Amino acid sequence: MRTSRLSRDTTRILAATRTHPPSRQTRSGAHAAIRDFSLNTVEAGHVARTGHRESASTVRNGDAYSDSELSSAPDSDSEGGEAMGSRKRKRGQAASAAVKHETKEIAITTIASPKKQSKVKKARRVPAKKIKGADGSIKIESPPNWEEIYALTRQMRNENVAPVDTMGCESLADRHMSPRDQRFQTLVALMLSSQTKDTVTSVAIKGMQDNMPGGFNLESVLALEPPALNAFINKVGFHNLKTKYIKQAAEILRDKWNSDIPDTIEGLTSLPGVGPKMAYLCMSAAWGRDEGIGVDVHVHRITNLWGWHKTTKPEETRAALESWLPKDKWHDINNLLVGHGQTICLPVGRRCGDCKLADRGLCPSAVVGKITKVKEEKVLTKVESTSGETVIMEKEVVEESDVKVEDVEGTVLDIEDIGKEPRRRTPRKPW
């Protein structure tokens, strides 16, 4: 009759205990013997179930028994148990290896991940200050770091060619004409530039220079009928109103200024459609005298973004700048900021990520955007080949957008110099 492995091992253990001479046992010793017997019985059962063999000798009551002494000849049950144990060991080793691999990957990722870069500290708005002296005189203290801001902006301007550099009003006059005609062309170009891009203004001036009968000069403009003059400038903003102003100004120049443009700010601003900005720019470009700063929408907007002052009108900005900015910068600052506003500090969608001032924390209005993937999809298109077979083509479409919050508050339209107030939009009523 076939007996189980547990029964055989139990019989051997009992037989081994009988071979030892009987000894006097106390109650605690009897309990210890019973406990050892129970442990050995459980241990033997574990060996029978799992087929595992301990390599070390088993010690009980000072006697050593190896596995070989407690084992019997292998049978089908033991072979099956050993095979099952071998499979379990392999699974256990594989699981252990997987855990180690995962831990290693986490460690590598942790080490390789770069530290977060500290954000550049944003500049504070520190405008020019009025300081009252002991004698009652008032001195204007320039904004801090203005020289560094100016130098970095000039560096960016030298690296990026703007429309004003090649198509600005100062460079549109025909240099083959007489100085008087060049001054008149400069004045007309400035009158056309209001609310008009330099690219459009330059095309209109070039068309008048090439196609106007008798050449582009005061006498030719006086000879033209308003509809004919309007046809030359019909691409610029407010061309109907500007046609009227140019015709009136030409008559005033003929009658009061000896067919030349005035050489004073008061004389220039007396012409219809000519405001302070045009007058100061015309004095600088036509007569070579810097008597003030020509403040247009870019100069007004950018200097307020820099925090040099807090003004609401271009004339307030001009007075604030002239109170502390060195006079040798009065002519340059207009070209500097107009070009900066055309290339980087745009009226809508400022490119603060490309601005050196934002990198160094010098601009308090810097808003750095992030390039974010908006859409990424695969498009399958069926195309029939010449052989009549249908071929499916896969195309991946990825769209990116520059996500940025834009602050355009305080933008002032450059309309004051043609005698019109900016139109205000009526807010829509909610449904």
- Catalytic center residues: 277
C-alpha to C-alpha distance for 158 and 156, rounded to whole angstroms: 5
**Cα atoms in the 13 Å half-sphere on the side-chain side of 192:** 32
CB 354, CB 344: distance < 8 Å: yes
C-alpha to C-alpha distance for 156 and 356, rounded to whole angstroms: 8
**Cα atoms in the 13 Å half-sphere on the side-chain side of 218:** 21
Other Cβ atoms within 10 Å of 257 Cβ, number: 17
- Look-up of token digits 């459609």: 273
**Any residues with CB less than 8 A from the CB of 350 and at least 6 apart, and which?**
344, 367, 404, 406
Name the token pair of 20: 């030892």
Question: Coil, strand, or helix at residue 217?
Answer: coil
C-alpha to C-alpha distance for 266 and 256, rounded to whole angstroms: 13
Q: What is the DSSP letter of 430?
A: P
- Look-up of token digits 């970095």: 152
The torsion of the CA quartet 245, 251, 252, 254, rounded to 10 degrees, works out to 140
**Any residues with CB less than 8 A from the CB of 52 and at least 6 apart, and which?**
46, 85
